[in-house]
Amino acid sequence: MCLLACRGGTSDWRVSEGQLLPEFTLRTPDGKSVSTSEYRGKIVVLTRFATWCPPCKIELGELQKRVWEPMKDRGVMVVAVSSGEDPQTVASYVEREGLTFPVLVDPSGEFARGVGGNSIPRLMLLDRDQYIRKLHVGYYEPEFQKLVEEVEALAR
């Protein structure tokens, strides 16, 4: 039952595959502004998470190990966004989990509202021009493996 619920879909997104990601300004946990347009030219795996979410913890660890570490030198970015959480809580979580890819905060919830949906983890795969290639909700290993393969293909 949980596997079906956790596999997710695309029904409550406010963005769609094939669409250009709207520009958003987010913050690092220490307060520096970062625009999503700064990642143009890179393949981006962009995920929304929360520090209290067990499937998010699994997904972030797998992104670190299977996408960021092996592909960061091939123009691949992993970016995680936490909406509505205290920046210090997020910073502590990043350090504790050993995440080395960019982790941003969405203090106003503008990004979360802009892309839609409440379920997390919520992942988008963007091509180098920031068009959305894939949308996914939840963590399900077979689907995650397909994502890794898609990122590898884009990075060739």
Q: Render 71-87 in DSSP notation, one character per residue.
A: HGGGTEEEEEEEESS-H
pLDDT at position 117 is 84
Contact indicator for 62, 95 with CB cutoff of 8 Å: no
Confidence of residue 106 (pLDDT cuts 50, 70, 90): very high
| pLDDT mean over 116-145 | 95
pLDDT at position 7 is 42
Contacts of 4 (CB under 8 A, 6+ apart): none
Confidence of residue 30 (pLDDT cuts 50, 70, 90): very high
**Residues 10/118/96/146 CA torsion (nearest 10 deg):** -10
- Residue-range domains of the chain with CATH: 26-155 (3.40.30.10)
Model confidence at 110: pLDDT above 70: yes
**Structure-block tokens of residue 142:** 């077979």
pLDDT at position 11 is 67
